[in-house]
Structure 1
């Protein structure tokens, strides 16, 4: 996706946004501010809204608290250092978090949503996606396609989806939350290094006999 010629390059800054008024950005995109509740407190915080076009956009945010919508097209979105949220929309999108607790969601298409150095939430969609938590204690949610999910560093929680998924917990003490979906998943709960302890997989309801498990400690919760 990085080889695609971007239709727009958008540099968004929350400090430059004007409350409740749309400000034209590069190539038809708009930047506004909106109010959202901070997850850990009742205090409201300002977020800058960045909206791409229906083409192939390259969006790079630089300030904090950004809410980014790529819309249609094959978009490339790189978040800044705050607690940001990014939604790829239609198309084959690449989304990358940064510092902070980011929320990245690919949407329809074959996407690559990835977290950053914070404790992030990473979501796939209906396509065959590739999810990556990066560092931090992340939560990763595969979608309905045949996805590849990598937790990377940190103590991650991974939720396989309805497709034939490949799950790689990698470093840290990882937990996989799975169901008996009748489809084979290849699941590596933790790193396959000889000194790596097993990760935990918890089946809700009953164990899926088709799953191939490696370096996993199994629990079933009915």
Structure 2
């Protein structure tokens, strides 16, 4: 049994099986708003995005919470900060977009720090990092991120074995970590690492971590269809 009731059978990151259609809807709405000369109401947006009005309303509300869109007088627009990011030519990664909510849910449910990497031809790129509160007293945020790719990190063991792997206080005293890999249809391998203090067990979180990685791969595949 886990010491985190929220991380059991109803674990948010694993149970929140958002259909790939939600990801499509979010990007369809972003494209519609980006091309619109002025803010639009939900009815017009739904029509332009080709999705039901109820779906558009729900997804817009979710995107508003993430700071992607904003609403004024019942009309929606790209949020200023997000719009500046797009205008600056920053690469908006579909993989990061689908991974972010699942990684955040996992960190909230377990208090752990969760880092997602993409490994391709020996190159490791950080996709997203969700910092949980449990490690903050032990390891600074920058070190948490670096620890995930330390030579003794569970990430390398997961890549070598092709299955979930663990390391216990080898990278940092007082910390334990597990990692789960999954092959991306678009190329490369995803590896999610989850780290907690050594007095918080991680064995019961292996399956939820594997499930989250699998869902991210499924979401990414659905987006590219």
Using the size of structure 2 for normalisation, the TM-score is: 0.26
Answer 1 or 2: which has greater strand percent: 1
Answer 1 or 2: which has greater helix percent: 2
